[in-house]
Chain A
Amino acid sequence: DTAVSQTPKYLVTQMGNDKSIKCEQNLGHDTMYWYKQDSKKFLKIMFSYNNKELIINETVPNRFSPKSPDKAHLNLHINSLELGDSAVYFCASSQGSLTTGELFFGEGSRLTVL
Chain B
Amino acid sequence: AQSVTQLGSHVSVSEGALVLLRCNYSSSVPPYLFWYVQYPNQGLQLLLKYTSAATLVKGINGFEAEFKKSETSFHLTKPSAHMSDAAEYFCAVTLNTGGFKTIFGAGTRLFVKA
Contact = CB atoms under 8 A, between A and B. Distances in A.
A56 interface: yes
A100 B52 CA distance: 11
Contacts of B109: 41
A70 interface: no
B43 A31 contact: no
A96 B99 CA distance: 7
Residue among B34, B102, B103 facing the most chain A CB atoms (10 A cut-off)? B102
B44 A31 contact: no
B43 A48 contact: no
A12 interface: no
Contact of B100 (A31, A41, A43, A105): A31
Interface string B30-60: 0010101010011111100101000000000
A98 B88 contact: no
B106 interface: yes
Contact of B44 (A42, A55, A90, A94): A90
Contacts of B96: 98, 101
17 contacts: A4-B43, A31-B99, A41-B106, A42-B104, A43-B104, A45-B101, A48-B101, A94-B100, A99-B51, A100-B49, A101-B100, A103-B102, A104-B46, A105-B43, A105-B44, A105-B45, A108-B43
Interface of A: 4, 31, 40-45, 48, 50, 55-56, 90, 92, 94, 96, 98-108
Given A43-B107, A103-B36, 12 more contacts: A41-B106, A48-B100, A55-B99, A56-B99, A56-B101, A92-B43, A100-B32, A101-B96, A102-B46, A102-B49, A107-B41, A108-B43
